[in-house]
């Protein structure tokens, strides 16, 4: 059994969620594919996000774009993309998360200082993923997903059923309850209206007793409301994440770190001015 790594223990600040900065070392991610595939560009971007206030860095080497068109890659290819950059990114400072659905990739990253596994299939795609997370003492983000969107279903019931199955898998593998975050998977297996529903009813997921992560950054539901290319959806992304924070989200996963951190600083200052400490 591999030696257990230090799990994610960064405290969640009062008044705002943690900001997780997205780093895609892929050619085909939906909003920034190809921009950070080169090692130097990836490390520079991670360093910039940390300087701009990212509390966590989330690195992915396979596109999991929720609207189709991504080319699946092997675990070997993911590892080849990660190997040149991961050691330096871990050294930058903030805790590092690996965005992967493959247990072998997760194990590779955890053995090199990563402390969070961000699984877009919530431990339900790779049957070895839960064991790898448990063996390394890692934190896991369990995200809701579906093979295809179905506008006729009750999306909140589907999310809750999915989380219940994933939590059973986590428990059977020995992942401590305190090592689990839940993510409703905005944009994944959902039509835009269902993504809005998941955001609007986020507080219903508190019944699971787990911290919530929300990744609404640049997603299609924003374009559906206010048409814009992915890299021009910053305003909509911030609006969604402010609403998620108000509903109790503990982490927001974003592409635009500086703008998001600024928004939360202003919102926090306004709230503190409204209710000054006694």
Q: Is residue 224 part of a domain?
A: yes
Q: Provide the number of structural domains found in the chain.
A: 1
pLDDT tens-place values along the chain, 278 residues long: 344 445 676 667 667 899 999 999 987 544 544 455 578 889 999 999 999 999 999 999 997 765 555 678 899 999 999 999 999 999 999 999 999 999 999 999 999 999 999 999 999 999 999 999 999 999 999 999 999 999 999 999 999 999 999 999 999 999 999 999 999 999 999 999 999 999 999 999 999 999 999 999 999 999 999 999 999 999 999 999 999 999 999 999 999 999 999 999 999 999 889 876 66
* Residues that are catalytic: 219, 253
d(CA 153, CA 174) in angstroms, rounded, equals 32
Q: Is residue 10 part of a domain?
A: no
Q: Is residue 140 part of a domain?
A: yes
How many residues does the structure list for the chain? Answer: 278
Q: Is residue 4 part of a domain?
A: no
Q: Is residue 7 part of a domain?
A: no
Q: Is residue 3 part of a domain?
A: no
Q: Is residue 54 part of a domain?
A: yes
pTM for the model stands at: 0.91
CATH number, residue 170: 3.20.20.20
Q: Is residue 1 part of a domain?
A: no
Range of the domain at 249: 18-274
């Amino acid at each position: 059994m591999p030696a257990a790594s230090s799990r994610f223990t960064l405290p969640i600040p009062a008044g705002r969620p943690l900001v997780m900065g997205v780093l895609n070392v892929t050619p085909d991610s939906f909003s920034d594919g190809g921009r950070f595939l080169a090692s130097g560009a990836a490390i520079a971007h991670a360093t910039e996000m940390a300087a701009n206030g990212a509390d966590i860095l989330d690195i992915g080497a396979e596109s999991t774009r929720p609207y189709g068109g991504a080319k699946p890659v092997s675990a070997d290819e993911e590892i080849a993309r990660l190997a040149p950059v991961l050691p330096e990114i871990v050294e930058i400072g903030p805790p590092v998360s690996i965005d992967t659905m493959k247990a072998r990739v997760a194990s590779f990253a955890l053995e090199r200082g990563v402390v969070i596994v961000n699984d877009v299939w919530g431990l339900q795609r790779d049957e070895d993923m839960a064991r790898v997370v448990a063996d390394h003492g890692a934190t896991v983000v369990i995200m809701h997903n579906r093979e295809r969107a179905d506008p006729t279903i009750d999306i909140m019931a589907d999310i809750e059923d999915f989380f219940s199955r994933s939590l059973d898998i986590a428990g059977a593998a020995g992942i401590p309850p305190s090592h689990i975050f839940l993510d409703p998977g905005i944009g994944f297996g959902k039509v835009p209206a269902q993504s809005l529903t998941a955001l609007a009813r986020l507080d219903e997921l508190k019944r699971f007793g787990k911290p919530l992560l929300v990744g609404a950054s640049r997603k299609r539901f924003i374009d559906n409301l206010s048409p814009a290319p992915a890299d021009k959806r910053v305003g909509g992304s911030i609006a969604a994440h402010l609403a998620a924070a108000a509903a109790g989200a503990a982490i927001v996963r974003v592409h635009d770190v500086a703008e998001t951190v600024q928004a939360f600083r202003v919102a926090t200052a306004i709230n503190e001015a409204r209710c000054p400490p006694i």
